[in-house]
Amino acid sequence: AATPLSGRVAVVAGASSGIGEASAERLAALGAHVVVLARRAERLGDLVARIEQAGGQALALAVDVTDAAAVRAAAERVAAESGGADLLLNNAGVMLPAPIEELAADQWQRQIDLNITGLMNVIGAFVPQLVQAAGARGVADLINTSSIAARNIFPGFAVYSATKAYVTHLSRHLRAELGARNVRVSAIEPGIVGTELQGHVTDEGARAWLEGSKETMEWLTPQDVAETVGFIASLPPRVNLQQVTIMPTGQP
Ligand code: NDP
């Protein structure tokens, strides 16, 4: 099998389910040594076992990415044990839609804490490794998981969508800054993907809207997005996919 990512060290944040889990498996299958981060240690352990059974290399580090010190400690372990990351899939996120008038301030804060502050904690801890790796080997990748919510309007999704607009716009800025250092920055913007994301939604209206959408379209699978992550990272060093929007065919 072709292993375009052999010799690379890929960190996946938010790897215990959904898009992150599938991407970790895909990156490992493409030859990368994968480091998987999330809070649920048992899920990460199962993932590492599966990757190793398939002939890949993986390390699990249970970490809450909203804890900046814990993320820095994880980055130090990655540096010590595998020489530093040259690929980062910054993917941990939560979606908690509700009409704004419900004033679900705790859910607003959870989304901001994870989708923005957690994302920045991971960037702060790993960007120095990416820059160093790019200097040494000519290319590194920072791939942020955004969403079509970054640009489309879905009533009830204001706070989530705003966090994803942050991710997309941040990515464009970082691309302009880090491209000169051979670090490619990409934002992936998926439409609906069947994962655990929908299971955390408590608002009845949003739950019904999501569930009802299954009648008019076939949702993407996490593997569909993982394939795209692998494609972005396998391109020649001069090629940087700035933004990739991946939609279920039937989603308007
Ligand atoms: P999942 O809920 O399946 O995955 C979310 C991942 O984030 C899990 O591994 C979870 O692990 C991790 N995570 C949550 N909180 C933390 C935390 N505090 N610290 C570390 N890790 C954390 O959903 P998806 O795979 O769908 O979501 C992945 C990304 O894709 C998100 O950024 C989401 O916004 C985005 N996205 C998803 C779409 C969809 O339709 N599914 C569409 C567009 C974008 P754990 O709980 O173990 O910590």
Print the domain residue range for 170.
9-246
- Rounded distance between C-alpha atoms, residue 26 and residue 29, angstroms: 5
User: Is the CB–ligand 1 distance for residue 82 below 6 Å?
Assistant: no
Question: Domain for residue 32, yes or no?
Answer: yes
Question: Domain for residue 151, yes or no?
Answer: yes
Measuring from atom 41 of ligand 1, which residue has the nearest CA? 193
- Rounded distance between C-alpha atoms, residue 217 and residue 24, angstroms: 26
Write out pLDDT tens, residues 140-162: 999 999 999 999 999 999 999 99
Question: Domain for residue 59, yes or no?
Answer: yes
Measuring from atom 31 of ligand 1, which residue has the nearest CA? 93
Question: Domain for residue 116, yes or no?
Answer: yes
Write out pLDDT tens, residues 176-201: 999 999 999 999 999 999 999 999 99
pTM recorded for the entire structure: 0.98
- Rounded distance between C-alpha atoms, residue 91 and residue 164, angstroms: 11
Percent of the chain with pLDDT over 70: 100
Q: Tell me the one-letter amino acid at 227.
A: E
Pairing between strand 140-145 and 33-38? Answer: unpaired
Q: Tell me the one-letter amino acid at 71.
A: V
User: Is the CB–ligand 1 distance for residue 14 below 6 Å?
Assistant: yes
Question: Domain for residue 174, yes or no?
Answer: yes
Give the tokens for residue 24: 């970790």
Question: Domain for residue 251, yes or no?
Answer: no
CATH number of the domain that residue 120 is part of: 3.40.50.720
Indicate which residue of 160, 195, 219, 232 is catalytic. 160
Q: Residue 166 catalytic?
A: no
Assign 1 a pLDDT band (cuts: 50, 70, 90): low
Residue-level pLDDT at 2? 75
- Rounded distance between C-alpha atoms, residue 137 and residue 156, angstroms: 45
Question: Domain for residue 93, yes or no?
Answer: yes
Following DSSP, what letter does each residue of 48-59 receive, concatenated? HHHHHHTT-EEE
Those residues with Cβ within 8 angstroms of residue 190's Cβ, 6 or more apart along the chain or in another chain: 19, 145, 147, 148, 220, 225, 245, 246, 247
Give the tokens for residue 42: 């048992």
Write out pLDDT tens, residues 97-130: 999 999 999 999 999 999 999 999 999 999 999 9
- Compute φ and ψ for 137, nearest 5 degrees: -120, 0
Question: Domain for residue 92, yes or no?
Answer: yes
User: Is the CB–ligand 1 distance for residue 66 below 6 Å?
Assistant: yes
Measuring from atom 12 of ligand 1, which residue has the nearest CA? 14
Task: Give the chain's domain count.
Answer: 1
Write out pLDDT tens, residues 29-46: 999 999 999 999 999 999
Predicted ipTM > 0.90: yes
